[in-house]
Amino acid sequence: MMAAPATAEMDAEVLVIGSGAGGATTATVLAEAGFDVLVVEEGDWVPQGATVPFSLDQMDRQYRNGGVTVALGLPSVAYTEGRCAGGGTEINSGLYWRPPGDVLERWQRDFRIDDFDPAELLAIADEVEVELGVRTMPGDPNEPSERMRRGAAALGWRHGEIPRWMRYDEGAAGVRQSMTRTYLPRAARAGARLATGCRIDHLEMSGGTATAARTTLADGTRGTIRFRHVFVCGGAIQSPAILQRSRIRGHIGRSLAVHPTVKLAARFPDPLNIPDDVPVQQVKEFAPHLSFGGSASNPGLVALSLLDEWRGFRSAMIDWPRITVYYAAITSEGTGRVRSVPGLRDPIVTYRLTGRDRALLGSGLARLTLLMLEAGADTVFPSFRGAPAVRRRTDVARMHAAFSATKATVMTVHLCSTVPTGEDPDRCGADSFGRVHGCRNVYVNDASLLPTAPGVNPQASVMAFAIRNARRFAAGDHHA
């Protein structure tokens, strides 16, 4: 798909804001249904392979604010957002979890989602898996994955390889089947247009109808896009911010949900570090509340994992080829808020962990430490201030006692639930098919719609919801 720079004056029957997992699938369904679709993206089109995965160059070109964004709180929670064609699908690890059936049933019941059939969502997931080529890795697992598998097996904990949306050509490394390689080219073949370098400042509203979008282009030029319908798919932070800047009221930005994580660096006797990939094993023994997995571990990210206790741990950096970073992620009971403030380019994001969340992060880090020792690590370096190095089982309890969430680097890559879908306007920002409550032609169709954090990587859930909603729109329900 050839993207074109945005121009000051543009128009479309349907405007799609954002080109990630929600926006790309929305554009594809609507373009293939015969709508005139314009997709606008604030970032650039960056071809895969143009940047080294997890490098500073990639962070500068494909992440919002260079990857340095944070939800304020005690502790604050660092998070990342993609800002490029394809959104987060271009920068994430490609791990795929279809939406859990019990979570779909709970969402339907608790949030009063009409005409919601979990079987329909799972059938759409089947389609997505074919389109993205979701599969496990061919051949033997990489060594960081094998170490996690070995530790889980020794403890008798439930574990397994997580499939990815990757194409594996014979004798070649895997190629991520992100939106720039799948749904965006498919949308283009159906006639959709993609304009890059276009920030949406706000929507012009007349009563409950959006009439135009005011834009700022990459060179600072102000512009206007006119449309009949608009789908806001900028992600769980930017979508509510756009709605708030447009003075759209309701349950918008009040219920941010994330999967907070804490990390450690595990050093093994032999070199095993893979700088440009991640382990594909995950441990789900304590799911849905707690899970373990592996992180990107290039030298810079190893240093970052040691930084909280740099005085004690910095000498380990010489051993980075023997070190891999792993994480413990929780399904949080806390919530956050997204607030757009006049005069500020980006919204203010806050998040509050509950006492249960803090305790679960501590016990999760202790269990992950034990897992790494069983996997054969000679030393574990937990990522929090004042952390002791752990070399044997008897050290784990001392480490756990020293842990405090306020001393740790808590982060997340999963953000959702800022415009929850459902029929209760006091609890939900959009109706059962993504139309914003109180609006006639404004829809949200991204991670913002997920009613709560799903407990697994949310991309499959986002794509299934987006395709379901776009199909309902294309069938004519937008005339209601």
Active site residues: 414
> Which residues make Cβ contacts (< 8 Å) with residue 98, sequence separation at least 6?
122, 125, 129, 460, 461, 464
Phi, psi for 108 (deg, rounded to 5): -60, -45
Q: Which residue, 175, 174, 193, is CA-closest to 184?
A: 193
Distance CA 136, CA 130 (A): 13
Distance CA 200, CA 23 (A): 14
Distance CA 411, CA 414 (A): 9
**Strands 193-196 and 37-41, sheet pairing:** parallel
Q: Which residue, 183, 173, 77, 169, is CA-closest to 130?
A: 183
Q: Quick one: how far is CA 354 from the chain centroid?
A: 22
Helix (H) or strand (E) holding 361: helix 355-374
Answer for the pair 196, 85: CB distance below 8 angstroms, yes or no.
yes
Distance CA 259, CA 33 (A): 35
Q: What angle do CA 264, 20, 426 make, to 5 degrees?
A: 90
Distance CA 164, CA 98 (A): 11
